[in-house]
Amino acid sequence: MTAEDQIKQTVTDHDVVLFMKGTKAMPQCGFSSRVAGVLNYMGVDYADVNVLEDEALRQGIKTFSDWPTIPQLYVKGEFVGGCDIITEMTLSGELDELFSTKGVNFDKAAAEKIREANA
């Protein structure tokens, strides 16, 4: 299976996927840690894919999304963005709207707490 096939299957099989450096339990870069932290705090059920374990996957995800950096968040098969975009969407409430529209369960009160803490 090619890296592209593996990526397609992963984003198809899971509602929310975070391609990251490390794992959701042990992120290995600050940007991955930030996005995983937001998803974890909001109680989102997501698959984490450690791109450090496979160089073909690490390069493949950048080509697949046409996005040069890691982490990368996918919701219902669609690329949403990297750390800066997810941070902005969290603080503006857009991430809540996306999850609600796509039928992804999350803790709305936790999302509000993130915004309050960053106001």
Q: What is the percent of the chain where pLDDT is above 70? A: 100
Domains along the sequence of the chain with CATH = 3-117 (3.40.30.10)
Please name the residue ranges forming H helices in the chain.
Answer: 3-13, 30-41, 55-65, 83-92, 94-102, 108-117
- CB 7 within 8 Å of CB 37: no
Side-chain-facing half-sphere of 113: CA atoms under 13 Å = 9
Residue 83 is assigned to a ligand binding site: no
- CA 58 to chain CA centroid, Å, is 15
Query: What pLDDT score was predicted for residue 70?
Result: 97
Residue 112 banded pLDDT, cuts 50, 70, 90:
very high
- Residue 28: partners with Cβ closer than 8 Å, 6 or more residues away: 21, 22, 50, 52
Indicate yes or no: pTM above 0.85.
Answer: yes
Residue 1 banded pLDDT, cuts 50, 70, 90:
confident
Q: State pLDDT tens for residues 48-104.
A: 999 999 999 999 999 999 999 999 999 999 999 999 999 999 999 999 999 999 999
What does the block give as tokens for 54?
Answer: 């496979």
Query: What pLDDT score was predicted for residue 119?
Result: 85
Residue 30 has pLDDT above 90, yes or no: yes
Q: What is the percent of the chain where pLDDT is above 90? A: 98
- CB 21 within 8 Å of CB 50: yes
Length of the chain: 119
